[in-house]
Amino acid sequence: MWIFPGEMNILEAGYSQMNAFFYLAPWVFLFLIPAITMKSFSDEKKSGTLELIITKPLSELQIITAKFLAGLLLVVISVLPAFIYVYSIYQLGNPIGNLDMGATWGSFFGLLFLGGAYVSIGIFASSVTENQIIAFILAVFLCFFFFVGFDSISSLTLFQSFDTLIIKLGINEHYISMSRGVLDSRDLIYFISLIVVFLFLTKTVISSRKW
């Protein structure tokens, strides 16, 4: 965004904004986060330490939540250096400070919620297999589907009568909404619900080992 020429280049764009960063970040996370989460449970299953962890005085929900928060923390750490971009663009604007901070903060919040959704999906994918590579591929597929899959389905002639409803099932619609700088409760409820659903599915998979 700073070195390579093209429409994504911030200096060549002529506007003090971070649209390029927030456009590319979900696609980077699409591969980064599954790589982070692929060992969450698959490695525990393969090495046989999952049974040992479960016997500890911790509930399955606590174990799953801890792994989720650990993954989310890594996502937060990976996003922090981006504030260097914010400061740089803020200072390079004409006049100085000519940056829409509302949209910028909204985009950061949207990116963190998107990252949380990816982490929950990645943990679920890791819980259904002992193979880390399969967990990675499954997580990438599920994240990709929830990010743009519903948009593609809504464009089909068969579903055009209720395409708006289908689009709202996807992550991208709510991510774009938050990027406008407005924290709508519907977007927050969507991301929280998606995270809870996949953590619950993970708990169901882990609990099924006792059956």
Task: Check residue 119 and give its pLDDT.
Answer: 96
Judge whether 15 lies within some domain: yes
Task: Check residue 211 and give its pLDDT.
Answer: 47
Task: Check residue 40 and give its pLDDT.
Answer: 87
The C-alpha angle 138, 143, 147, rounded to 5 degrees, equals 150
* 29: phi then psi, degrees, rounded to nearest 5: -65, -30
Judge whether 121 lies within some domain: yes
Judge whether 1 lies within some domain: no
Question: When comparing pLDDT for 184 and 120, which is higher?
Answer: 120
Biggest CA–CA distance in the chain, Å, is: 65
Judge whether 25 lies within some domain: yes
pLDDT at 201 over 60: yes
Judge whether 143 lies within some domain: yes
The model's pLDDT over 80-114, given as tens digits with 9 standing for 90+, comes to 999 998 888 888 877 887 788 888 898 999 999 99
Judge whether 54 lies within some domain: yes
Judge whether 57 lies within some domain: yes
Phi-psi region of 161 (alpha: psi -120 to 50; beta: other; left: phi over 0): alpha
Question: When comparing pLDDT for 183 and 73, which is higher?
Answer: 73
Alpha-helical segments (H) within the chain: 10-13, 19-37, 42-47, 50-54, 60-79, 83-92, 101-127, 132-144, 150-154, 163-167, 171-179, 185-207
Q: Number of folded domains in the chain?
A: 1
Least confident of 44-53, 103-112, 141-150, 195-204: 44-53
pLDDT at 123 over 90: yes
Task: Check residue 92 and give its pLDDT.
Answer: 81
Task: Using DSSP, state whether 61 is helix, strand or coil.
Answer: helix
Q: Which domain holds residue 109?
A: 11-210
Report the C-alpha gap between 65 and 73 in whole angstroms.
12
Q: What's the mean per-residue pLDDT of the chain?
A: 87
Judge whether 6 lies within some domain: no
Residue with tokens 């928060």: 69
Q: Is the dihedral of CA 27, 29, 30, 31 positive or negative?
A: positive
What six digits make up the tokens of 158? Answer: 């068969």
- Taking the CB of residue 204, how many other CB atoms lie within 10 A of it? 12
**Which residue type, as a one-letter code, is found at position 89?**
I
C-alpha 207 chain-centroid distance: 25
Task: Check residue 79 and give its pLDDT.
Answer: 93
